């Protein structure tokens, strides 16, 4: 059971996260490029190529992208599947989704991607609905991570695939110093200049540091019932992709 104070703290965390993305929605995509030096594009490509949605065959591959924001992962999935996949983007923030819908229009992908407002902790879908569940730079923002993982397991079909892309603990000597400098100086500064406020970015950087290391996160997935859990480190371990199956 959750104690009252813990629940309040978790709800406050969500409120803070929401206010960050509410404020930055319109500038989110450009901020991503600035803050990661464009690397987030390569990491997202890596996640979707590891997923490898089918490019032929009967039936439609049903992809769910949680905390999907402005649609980066969903667009990659449906483009790669060349008409054989449909994606649902779920995000708690209506502003991010609105930007995503506009981007889908521009790319002529509105028919292939749906945008739904909802919480990763309590997904508004029936059990066994999706062939894949992806979450990119989202899980660290979710206050009750175990609940989000349990929900991922629930909504996947048997045989369905779970993929999570997230920042990770850096293990290359020297790179950690650079990473600290980037996290505590550069990122809040970009936040201040582009979005007018550094404070929320300090918080986001903190949330990266409290995310479990790859080993521990792999354990969390196994405990939730996922099988064949593996992961890949990206760019010297700045980011990691975890994979698992509901079998
Ligand atoms: N996946 C996108 C990407 O990689 O570009 C967006 C990532 S953005 C860093 C994090 C997203 O998580 C935001 O759009 C935010 O609204 C969403 N988010 C935060 N808490 C959430 C929750 N509890 N349920 C669903 N989405 C959430």
* pLDDT per position as a tens digit, 34-60: 878 899 999 999 999 999 999 998 899
> 51-60, 93-102, 178-187, 236-245: which range is least confident on average?
178-187
Question: Closest ligand 1 atom, CA of 165?
Answer: 4
Q: Which atom of ligand 1 is nearest to the CA of 204?
A: 9
**CATH for 139:** 3.40.50.150
Q: What is the pLDDT of residue 170?
A: 66
Instruction: Pick the atom of ligand 1 nearest to 40's CA.
Output: 4
C-alpha of residue 135 to centroid of ligand 1, in Å = 8
Ligand 1 geometric centre to CA of 137 (Å): 7
- pLDDT tens across 208-233, in order? 767 889 999 999 999 999 999 999 99
pLDDT at position 85 is: 98
Each residue's pLDDT tens digit, 135-158 = 999 999 899 999 999 999 999 999
In total, how many domains does the chain have? 1
C-alpha 58 – ligand 1 centre gap (Å): 32
Range of the domain at 241: 4-245
pLDDT digits over 162-191, tens only?
Answer: 999 998 876 666 766 777 777 777 777 877
Q: Are strands 239-245 and 156-167 parallel, antiparallel or unpaired?
A: antiparallel
């Amino acid at each position: 059971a959750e104690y009252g104070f813990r629940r309040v703290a978790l709800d406050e965390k969500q409120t803070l996260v929401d206010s960050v993305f509410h404020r930055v929605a319109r500038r989110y995509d450009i901020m991503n490029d600035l803050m990661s030096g464009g690397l987030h594009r390569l990491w997202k490509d890596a996640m979707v190529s590891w997923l490898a949605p089918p490019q032929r065959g009967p039936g439609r591959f049903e992809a769910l992208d949680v905390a999907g924001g402005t649609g980066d992962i969903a667009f990659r999935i449906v483009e790669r599947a060349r008409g054989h996949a449909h994606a649902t983007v779920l995000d708690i923030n209506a502003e991010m989704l609105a930007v995503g819908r506009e981007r889908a229009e521009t790319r002529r992908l509105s028919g292939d991607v749906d945008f739904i407002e909802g919480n990763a902790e309590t997904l508004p879908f029936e059990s066994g609905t999706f062939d894949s569940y992806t979450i990119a730079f989202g899980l660290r923002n979710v206050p009750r991570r175990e609940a989000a993982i349990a929900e991922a397991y629930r909504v996947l079909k048997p045989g369905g695939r779970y993929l999570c892309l997230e920042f990770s603990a850096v293990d290359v000597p020297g790179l950690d110093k650079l990473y600290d400098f980037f996290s505590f100086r550069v990122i809040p500064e970009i936040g201040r200049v582009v979005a007018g406020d550094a404070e929320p970015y300090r918080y986001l950087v903190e949330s990266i540091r409290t995310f479990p290391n790859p080993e521990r996160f792999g354990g969390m997935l196994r405990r939730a019932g996922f099988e064949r859990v593996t992961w890949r480190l990206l760019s010297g371990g700045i980011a990691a992709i975890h994979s698992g199956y509901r079998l």
